[in-house]
Amino acid sequence: MQRIYAILTLALFGSFTFVEKESPTWWKETVFYEIYMPSYMDSDGDGYSDFKGLSSKLDYIEELGIGGIWLTPFLSSPKVDNGYDVSDYRQIDLQYGTMDDFERFIGQAHERGIRVIMDMVVNHTSTESYWFQESKKSKDNPYRDYYIWTDQPNNWESFFGGSAWEFDSASNEYYYHQFDKKMADLNWSNPKVVEEIQEVLRFWLDKGVDGFRLDVINFLTTDGITQDNPFDEKGEQIHMHDKDQNGVKEAMKIIKSTVNEYEDRFIVGEIGSEDIQELKQYQSDELMDVVFNFNFGSIPEFSAQRIYDEIISMEAELSSYPTLFFGSHDMPRLMSRLAENDENKAEALAALMLTAKGVPFIYYGEEIGMENISAANLEHIRDVQATIHYDLAIQTGKSDVESLQIANDHNRDKSRSPMQWNSNIHAGFSDEVPWIKVHENYTSRNVDAQIPVKSSLLNQYKKLIEMRSSNPVLQYGDYLDIKFENNVLSYTREFEGDKVTAVFNFSGQVYELAPYGNLLAGKYRVSSNSYAIIQH
């Protein structure tokens, strides 16, 4: 392999820029860890993770260095969409335990200095919720206007595919659902709905949660049903009028002001857009503290150029901190999608996420290099989004093989398999996990195997997280310079006179750095898919 020898000196990284001292903000100092609720740790053998199981793994999470946990939905739900279809906003789903189990979990997390934010879905409810069951009884029911009903539906399509309208024969009207037909959209133009949601937020804040991840929050229907959506040149609908409606920001302000009734709480918003100009509209002191930027986090395949471009874009466009992530419950795993099953590359991407400017979110299992699972047939798919796309493909004349491929392309199960605590494919869960199919030939890295190995991916994650959590430059520092050349990405961040330089080599060649400063992580001789983090 040809070697490239380069001497990087401080002069390469620009002149000193004064950075105004910033008051401490806990979420800027925190490395978050997303836990997909059904998949983390099962305490009772029913095949579902639960709060007792989570509590049993808090020592592991603490040792990993995590300061904040994001829990996906755990409220009462029929699980058409794995909990994103809430049937009761004030009840813990029985599969995850009891309210006492939850309160013990959050108390034990707080004892360890770990904050907890919960996924909150206020765009829609399950059609099994009391509100919707009352709403459908009659047109003059007090809950009727909690949802959106019409006898003249427009052309809006569901984001899961197919029509966004479902006919109800009892009232001879249609109700609106942006996603599955069993997930009815709330009517945010109704003040009673707003008041109900405010009380729900206060209920959980009183329980001690430290904030919320707000699901598809710019999809709130605040302006009612407006004109038909247009179509693009491929015949695909452009979701122009069914999101980002007039009134969405006012609704967000009410949510934020409600959360601000409690001290030191945090809101991260999922904005259904990849347009950085749209994302920036929702990130401010009176709206969302931060928003997820899927342009950075969900690129379909590895591209050092794309990562660099997105860092530049976030720095130029977002006035507050960006979010940094390479995985979530809605996308293929980092190891399979970006790292191409290369542990060195996965470690380098972790180092990038933990040294760039922003709030990092690690998806459970990334720290041990978990891979995607795959579905061999339709019976192995549980994700509603995938099954809807399979049915639509069959309806348009596609073969079973073609339809299965389309379903797999949209299947979110691939990144939702049980946390690999050991070498068993079910990792301590029941022998046959009831809500997801894991193939017998599935193998993945696991915790037990990596704990004793000093150089393991898990132990490297621990070092990187500790480095980020203990270094103010990596929490608050601004960029002095960002460079990209020959697939080598580098940047320097500065805070109160201290500087950290990070170099990531994706060139396929060897990069030699002149020793200087304090090497925090990596090596001065940066091989391909590796890195160096230097404080000076």
Tokens of 258: 């409600």
String of b and e for 166-180 (b: at least 16 CB within 10 Å)? beeeebebbbbbbbb
Say which DSSP state 515 is in.
Answer: -
Burial class (CB in 10 A: 0-12, 13-18, 19+), 230: exposed
Nearest of 432, 414, 415 to residue 424 by alpha carbon? 432
Q: Which is the catalytic residue, given 210, 215, 310, 347?
A: 215
Tokens of 381: 């798919």
Residues 532, 522 contacting (CB under 8 angstroms)? yes
Tokens of 148: 């959106």
Task: Report the DSSP pairing between strands 32-35 and 359-363.
Answer: parallel
CA dist list (Å): 233 to 154, 237, 307, 395: 20, 9, 29, 22
Nearest of 361, 232, 394 to residue 292 by alpha carbon? 361
CA dist list (Å): 293 to 50, 122, 439: 29, 20, 32
Clarify whether 270 is annotated catalytic.
yes
String of b and e for 346-364 (b: at least 16 CB within 10 Å)? bbbbbbbbbbbbbbbbbbb
Q: Which is the catalytic residue, given 85, 244, 270, 413?
A: 270
SS3 450: helix
Residue type at 71?
Answer: L
Clarify whether 196 is annotated catalytic.
no
DSSP string computed for 107-174: HHHHHTT-EEEEEE--SEEETTSHHHHHHTT-TTSTTGGGB-EESS--S-B-TTSSBSEEEETTTTEE
Strands (E), 111-256: 115-120, 124-126, 149-150, 165-168, 173-176, 183-185, 211-214
Tokens of 353: 């996420």
What residues does 214 pair with on adjacent strands?
120, 269
What residues does 71 pair with on adjacent strands?
35, 118
Residues 131, 145 contacting (CB under 8 angstroms)? no
SS3 210: coil
Rounded to whole angstroms, how far apart are CA atoms 420 and 433?
13
Catalytic residue annotation: 215, 270
